[in-house]
Amino acid sequence: MFPAVRKARWNNFEMLKEAKSVKRMAYLIMRSLPESPTVRIHVAGDFYSQNYFDAWLEVCKQVPGKLFYAYTKSLTFWIARLDQIPKNLVLNASRGGKFDVLIDQYHLKCAEVVFSEQAARDKGLELDHDDSHAYKGTKSFGLLIHGAQPSGTEAAKALSALRAAGITGYSRNKPLGKA
């Protein structure tokens, strides 16, 4: 949909793959950090290797004044470094992947996409409409279905129902009910 964005992301990915070492990857990441005090790692994408995950750990250690957070399905990389996660890195397991069993086994904080506010209530999950649960909270939470969904699927129908109710993505146009 956005060719320039796609090109930039693929360029970044290629540079990181070529870097190979944790030290070199961390250097490239450090050069591209925004000035913001809070940084979401990956708006799209995920940790693709243990070295890449470790590079982010190194970046977090080098910039202790910044808060970093990420959603991930790459739980094996996280589990391999459980005792090495810096205090300024908040990880959120994204439920719905092939390693979900690790979420419960290791009591990982997680985010679960739900199709409605009622579904979140039924699961005992507070909804996060602005990523604050992701970077500040310590408990697992829900996210309302968002983004593009395949036509005709239950997810697409749920997204249409939310939009009809004035709820779009992470935000909403009506007061939030308690979840």
pLDDT tens track for 15-31: 888 898 999 999 999 99
Most distant CA atoms of the chain, gap in Å: 48
Residue 103: inside a domain, yes or no? no
Judgement on whether residues 90 and 149 belong to the same structural domain of the protein:
no
Residue 175: inside a domain, yes or no? yes
Judgement on whether residues 113 and 90 belong to the same structural domain of the protein:
no
Please say whether the beta carbons of 28 and 62 come within 8 A.
no
Judgement on whether residues 6 and 88 belong to the same structural domain of the protein:
yes
Give 72's strand partners.
93
The 10s digit of each residue's pLDDT in 50-61 is 999 999 999 999
Please say whether the beta carbons of 92 and 134 come within 8 A.
yes
The domain of 82 spans 1-94
